[in-house]
Structure 1
């Protein structure tokens, strides 16, 4: 009888431990990968989805809301290969419920990119080596992003985020900023020199 009670106690403890682990462990974040093309006019994307029968292509609006966008080259890949889909209104596609990898291409408006998700995602954005994000006057990386600079590309990573945004620039924009900054400094020096020269002249009088 004692052994039976001990077994029941062990099973109860094991069940409680498993329940605690399940409740305490966060949901695994899915992966989303975006690659900015060389001319910075478009991008390619791959987004994982699970247990769903639809997907909407969106971007963040001015108030943070999801705004439908037009994309192209859509492919829905399942465990057994590519799956056909139906296009609905508001940039929504539907397909049999399951787990998929959705790939597509979209256009960029200016040197910036942003993505909005309903659930946490591990996000990767890849930039060609001719673009940069580190200058705070020209570039921007949203909160939580880690920048890894390589020889031919820059990679920005977020872990478990619902929002990712970057603003990038090239060497030409950096040169223009440097020239503008130099002109502004010279102009300020001339103004200050003229101001102090006038004060010195007035004191001599």
Structure 2
């Protein structure tokens, strides 16, 4: 079982392709703060399988609950586009999945103060500065990435903190040197 995610270059959405086996439905949900299913607004939903390249499905959109699709039981790949919030991509699965996430060159995950990666990830940086993050046989993942402006803002903030620390320590050091 595999799930592939591709983050769009502007970072506002992603495209997912998720394999599902021996099932007749799929729910579009993400993980909430308390582990609950939170509805995800999806678009461009496609269902392909062993018996059809473009399969038919029926939408089920209960009020306040995640939308889902139903179809003939079997093995399929569900693909869709969904929005991203705060450069954070996460998902959970009922069975272990091999997950691949492709991050475009406009974003980075190398700074641990700005990024976050679930344990067990294998990170590959490509020559075009895009990044692929892979997990093997996981039940959930969380990936936070950032752009250049966030990194510049962090360095500015750290510089201001250093200046404040020096200003605060300077009178103490001068007073201490005067007492000796």
TM-score normalised by length of structure 2: 0.92
Bigger relative contact order, structure 1 or 2, given CA contacts below 8 A and separation 6+? Answer: 2
- Tell me the distance in 2 between the aligned counterparts of 1:57 and 1:175: 35
- Asked if residue 129 in structure 1 is aligned to residue 105 in structure 2, the reply is yes
- Provide the alpha-carbon RMSD of the alignment: 1.2
Structure 1: where are the runs of 5+ without partners?
1-29
Q: Is the 8 A contact 1:57 1:68 kept in 2?
A: yes
1:34 aligns with 2:10: no
Classify the secondary structure of the residue corresponding to 1:81: coil
Query: Are 1:195 and 2:167 counterparts?
Result: no
Distance 2:35 2:111 in 1: 25
Instruction: Name the structure where strand makes up a greater proportion of residues.
Output: 2
The offset of 1:99, in angstroms, is: 0.6
2:134 & 2:124 partners in 1: Cα distance?
A: 8
What is the Cα deviation at residue 198 of structure 1? 2.4
Q: State the match for 1:100 in structure 2.
A: 76
Deviation at 1:200, TM superposition (A): 3.3
Partner Cα distance (2:20, 2:97) in 1: 10
Q: CA deviation at 1:83?
A: 0.7
Distance 2:87 2:171 in 1: 40
SS in 2 for 1:82: coil
Q: Which ranges of structure 2 fall in alignment gaps of 5 or more residues?
A: none
Which one has the bigger helix percentage? 1
Higher-Rg member (1/2): 1
**Counterparts in 2 of 1:21-170, with a 5 A limit?**
30-79=1-50, 80-88=52-60, 89=62, 90-152=66-128, 153-170=130-147
- Normalising by the residue count of structure 1, what TM-score does the alignment of the two structures yield? 0.81
Q: Residues of 2 paired with 1:170 and 1:109: CA distance?
A: 14
Q: Is the 8 A contact 1:66 1:116 kept in 2?
A: no
Deviation readout 1:14-70 (Å, 9 max, x if unpaired): xxxxxxxxxxxxxxxx00000000110000000001111101011111022332222
